[in-house]
Chain A
Amino acid sequence: MSGTGTRAEAGRAARRASAIASTLIRFAAVVAVTYLGLLAVTFFIGRVIPIDPVLAIVGDRAPASVVERAREELGLNLPYHQQFLIYVKGALQGEFGRSVLTTNPVMTDIRRVLPATIELATLGTLIGALIGVPLGVLAAVRRGTLADQIVRIIGLIGYSVPIFWLGLLALLVFYARLRWTAGPGRIDVVYEYTFTPITGFYLLDAMLLRDWAAFRDIFAHIVLPASLLGYFSLAYISRMTRSFMLNELGQEYIVAARAKGLSETRIVWAHALRNAAVPLVTVIALSYAGLLEGSVLTETVFSWPGLGLYITNSLQNADMNAVLGGTIVIGSIFIGINLLSDLLYRMLDPRTRPR
């Protein structure tokens, strides 16, 4: 009796393991194809550009022999499919060539600026989720009332406002007029030489160094752009929370919970929200990815030395290696977050688990 039980269990476990393995393989294939597509598109962009990379390096008036040699050294005389193979190989090793502007390898530059963007986007998502989820729950519970309408309008304006414009106005009001926050940049010049970052995440670094004066200054700098990005993601998160909650509140288990005599607070926050949380994780992950992108404009307005500002600065100087490298890095993070949210969804929702 017990023998057959364990055998059946072992069979089930094996089946489950193979199901998980096949899912993982499928995921890996999807990611590989998507990444290859990303590289193909950036490769294409890099080749249709009207600026000749050879002439950009050797100059317009270089003799033909020099141009030819540079072309060979850059591998630009090879057929396109070979160029693409070299490009893919380089990209897989994090090799995107040198930036014309900073003369560093592009990857070195990106590694230096990426923490600033991650820090900003993380804080923004945190603000967006912490305010957006309760707002969405409120709108769903008080559906059709004034509160619902107000949340809806807050969300709609968040969808409609040009973020760079709102950033300029925020700087004008909160920095220039009210003097509540610090201005553009990440940290005051005063700390430029006394504050040596460890991880590149300044808030974390200041805590590790126990430099509370610097921490306050860094916080005063980040609070405005992070709130702005937070508002951006709040619009999306509150809207999705509302629809998920409405969906859950119409389910029969809610009726059952009411019949059992549970308090409304408990039903909403402990029962309905817990079930709505599963798709919400995906939404929050996607809004995080969206903020990484939204940071391009925000960073420009706030002179925030992150990846977005790096890309736009490189754009203005026709530094295509840097632009494409930055595009690939943000694209890779995008793909990674999409994959992660998909996996999280499968882990959190027992219905999607392979049996």
Chain B
Amino acid sequence: MSEAALTRREWLLSERPDSRLQARLGRAYQSWLRFSANRLALAGLLIILLLVFVAAFADLLSPYSPIVGDLRGSRLMPPGPGHWLGTDDQGRDILSRIIHGSRITLYVVLLVAIIAAPIGLAVGAVAGYAGGLLDVVLMRITDIFLAFPKLILALAFVAALGPGIENAVLAIAITSWPPYARIARAETLTVRSSDYIAAVALMGASPSRIVLRHIMPLCISSLIVRVTLDMAGIILTAAGLGFLGLGAQPPLPEWGAMIASGRRFILDQWWVAAAPGAAILIVSLGFNLLGDGLRDALDPRGSER
């Protein structure tokens, strides 16, 4: 068994891969080796996997309903058996609300990433490849958005669009694409004048094909790192909007909004606000650890910086 594992390891680390698949798997394996040597990064990965697991099986895991509470029997009960994290002012089990809130957090983070990253990638790759006036105009727009205070701009957008989780997602996405455009442009500039791009161009590939098929894929790994590192910021912004009453609306168990509703009881029933905040801290810490580890593993050049 160990011999088979050893040969598999050798196969993966082979200097002369026989196929493209072997080369790719080998590279992925090397990245994984670098990544898994970092204990903090593994902890981050574990936290995120746990988040996904909890979000997927929220209905099975939560002992009570996240929306309907027991107003008569269990209002503002301290943590203890039965209610491990206590109950809130409407007699709802806080643990169940946090478990269901993980879905909202994941939803926000994924949606922002799905909206913002492609926008940034497209803007940056096009600007970098086209150059000239288009580059100047696109980068100026990017700089304008970069110069803005993100949270304040998101606040103003949500104020205009009206509170709600979709609008919060939109507002965060609008304010978070510019760094991705910067990164994609920088990556594009480094590969733009390389021989293989010239070769593809000579073979008659159209500019859109070059950008889509040959430049964008190369930007993706550094973009993934950056998006992962930004996820913590996205979670914090979403929670901040929720805290101000501009994100998810009650009775949705959004963690930021839960802190806001627990604020009134902070002096005597501190657990109402403390538990969801701890959940936010753990999850965004997980994303930060994971992002750090990914950066070190995928980009060995930049890891010492």
Contacts and interface: CB of A to CB of B under 8 A. Distances in A.
B246 interface: yes
Contacts of B243: 162, 164, 297, 300
A160 B140 contact: no
Interface in B139-194: 140-141, 143-145, 147-153, 155-157, 159-162
B97 to A, nearest CB: 15
A318 interface: yes
Given A160-B287, A176-B266, A318-B159, 16 more contacts: A38-B144, A41-B148, A162-B259, A162-B277, A164-B240, A165-B276, A168-B263, A169-B274, A171-B266, A172-B266, A296-B152, A300-B244, A324-B156, A327-B149, A330-B152, A335-B147
A48 interface: yes
Interface band, chain B: 35 or more
Interface string A274-304: 0000000000000001001110110011000
A315 B145 CA distance: 21
A289 B144 CA distance: 15
B288 interface: yes
B256 interface: yes
Interface string B275-304: 011001100110111001000000000001
B147 A48 contact: no
Contacts of A338: 147
Contact of A334 (B148, B240, B246, B281): B148
B240 A327 contact: no
A166 B239 CA distance: 13
Contact of A246 (B232, B288, B304): B304
A327 B145 CA distance: 13
A320 B232 CA distance: 29
B244 A312 contact: yes
B273 A50 contact: no
Interface in A128-179: 156-157, 159-166, 168-169, 171-172, 176
Interface in B43-63: none
B220 to A, nearest CB: 24
A116 interface: no
A315 B155 contact: yes
Contacts, number: 143
18 contacts: A33-B140, A37-B141, A37-B145, A38-B148, A49-B160, A156-B289, A160-B281, A165-B280, A165-B281, A168-B259, A176-B266, A176-B267, A293-B151, A296-B152, A296-B155, A296-B240, A297-B151, A338-B147
Chain A interface mostly: helix
Interface in A173-188: 176
B109 to A, nearest CB: 14
A34 B266 contact: no
Contacts of A38: 144, 147-148
Contacts of B210: none
B69 interface: no
Interface string A31-60: 001100110011001101110000000000
B16 interface: no
A157 B141 CA distance: 33
A69 to B, nearest CB: 26
Contacts of A326: 152
Contact of A331 (B152, B263, B288): B152
Contacts of B161: 48-50
Contacts of B263: 168, 301
A37 B94 CA distance: 44
A38 B159 CA distance: 17
B240 A168 contact: no
Given A289-B149, A312-B244, A334-B148, A157 B281 contact: yes
Interface of A: 30, 33-34, 37-38, 41-42, 45-46, 48-50, 156-157, 159-166, 168-169, 171-172, 176, 243, 246-247, 289, 292-294, 296-297, 300-301, 311-312, 315-316, 318, 320, 323-324, 326-327, 330-331, 334-335, 338
Contacts of A292: 149
Contacts of B305: 243, 246-247
B90 to A, nearest CB: 19
Contact of A159 (B141, B267, B288): B288
A34 B147 contact: yes
A162 B152 contact: no
Contact of A323 (B156, B267, B277, B284): B156
A42 B156 contact: yes
A165 B277 contact: yes
A330 B281 contact: no
B236 interface: yes
Contacts of A296: 151-152, 155, 240
B245 interface: yes
Contact of B281 (A41, A48, A161, A318): A161
Contacts of B287: 160
B196 to A, nearest CB: 32
B225 to A, nearest CB: 15
A162 B240 contact: yes
A118 to B, nearest CB: 15
Interface in B221-248: 232, 236, 239-240, 243-246
A107 B281 CA distance: 37
A320 B266 CA distance: 31
B162 A323 contact: no
A250 to B, nearest CB: 9
Interface in B9-37: none
Nearest to B158: A315
A320 B144 contact: no
Contacts of B288: 156, 159-160
B84 interface: no
A157 B160 contact: no
A171 B156 CA distance: 28
